[in-house]
Structure 1
Amino acid sequence: MTRLFYASTLFGAMTLAAAIDDGRFGPRDDRRILLVSNNAAVPEVTPSLDEAPGFAPLRPRFDEVHSWNEIVAPMHPSDWKARAIEVPMLSRLLATRLSLGDDLCELVLESVAVPPARTVATLVRDCPITVYSDGLMSYGPTRDALPLEISGRITRLLHLDLVPGLAPLLLSEYGVPADALPDRAFLDVVESVTSAVDPAAAAPDVPGAPESRAMILGQYLSALGIVTADEEAGLHADMLRGVAARGFGTVLFKPHPAAGRRHALRLRETAAELGVRLEVATESVPAESYFAALRPGLVVGCFSTALITARNHYGLPVAAMGGELVLERLSPYENSNRIPVTITDALLPRLAADGSVSDPPPVDLPALVRAVGYCMRAGAHPGLREAASAHLDAHGPDRYFKRQRLSALELLPARDRTAPGTLGRLRRRLSQTLL
Structure 2
Amino acid sequence: MVSQIIFLILTLAAIALFTVNFRKIIRNIRLGKDVNRNDQPTKRFITMMRVAFGQSKMIVRPIPAILHFFVYAGFVIINIEVLEIMIDGLFGTHRVFHGLGGLYDFLIGSFEVLAFTVLLACVIFFIRRNILNMKRFKGVEMTAWPKSDANYILIIEILLMSAFLIMNAADAKLQTLGAGHYITAGSFPVSQFLIPLLPNTENALIILERSCWWFHIAGILAFLNYLPYSKHFHILFAFPNTYYSNLEPKGEFTNMASVTNEVKAMLDPSFVPAETEPGKFGAKDATDLSWVNLMNAYTCTECGRCTSVCPANITGKLLSPRKIMMDTRDRITEVGKNIDKHGVGHDDGKALLDDYISREEIWACTSCNACVEACPVNIDPLQIIMELRRFAVMEESQAPASINAMMGNIENNQAPWKYSPADRFNWAEGN
TM category (shorter chain) comes to: under 0.3
Q: Higher strand proportion, which one? A: 1
Q: What is the TM-score normalised by the length of structure 1?
A: 0.23
Q: What is the TM-score normalised by the length of structure 2?
A: 0.24
Structure number with larger C-alpha Rg: 2
Q: 1 or 2 for the larger relative contact order (CA 8 Å, sep ≥6)?
A: 2
